[in-house]
Structure 1
Amino acid sequence: MKEIDFFGIFLPPLLAYAALAGVLWYALSKVLSWMGIERVVWHPSLFNTALYVLILSGCILAVFRWGG
């Protein structure tokens, strides 16, 4: 794993994965909210946190599996 060079500032790759996961989580949470999933979820904040962690894990696994 190499650092990401952002205008001379070296950033950890986890920051990029977290940003990508955040964008995907935001889009997915809006779709799920539109579908009314919050009515059947016991604890919406816990659900959103778990959803973000799952998406972040998927992004990291996808990069290591197919991204090289």
Structure 2
Amino acid sequence: MPREIGFLGMLVPGLLPILLACAVLFVGLDLTLSRTGLYRHVWHPSLFRASLFLALFSAAGLTLGR
């Protein structure tokens, strides 16, 4: 994957498409987990959400960013 991608005359980081895809995936996963009631069993839901997004983005970035 290139380090920068040309987009409308600007150079954006190569991880930006991965970040956007992970954000969409996270929103869907968050809605699913909310509806199933998982967050009632989690000690700190905001911290869990942040760490879930970080884990998704890190895994995708390490896998696809090579």
TM-score range, shorter chain: 0.7 to 0.9
Structure with greater contact order relative to length (CA < 8 Å, sep ≥ 6)? 2
Letter in 2 for 1:16: P
Corresponding residue of 1:26:
27
CA offset at residue 63 of structure 1?
Answer: 0.5
Coordinate RMSD, CA, aligned: 1.3
Structure 1 regions of 5+ residues with no counterpart? none
Letter in 2 for 1:58: A
Structure 2 regions of 5+ residues with no counterpart? none
Counterparts of 1:52 and 1:46, CA distance in 2: 10
Residue-pair matches, total: 65
1:17 equivalenced with 2:28 (yes/no): no
Written as runs of structure 1 = structure 2, the 5 A alignment for 1:20-59 is 20-59=21-60
TM-score (norm 2): 0.86
CA offset at residue 11 of structure 1?
Answer: 0.2
Q: Which has the higher helix share?
A: 1
Identity %: 37
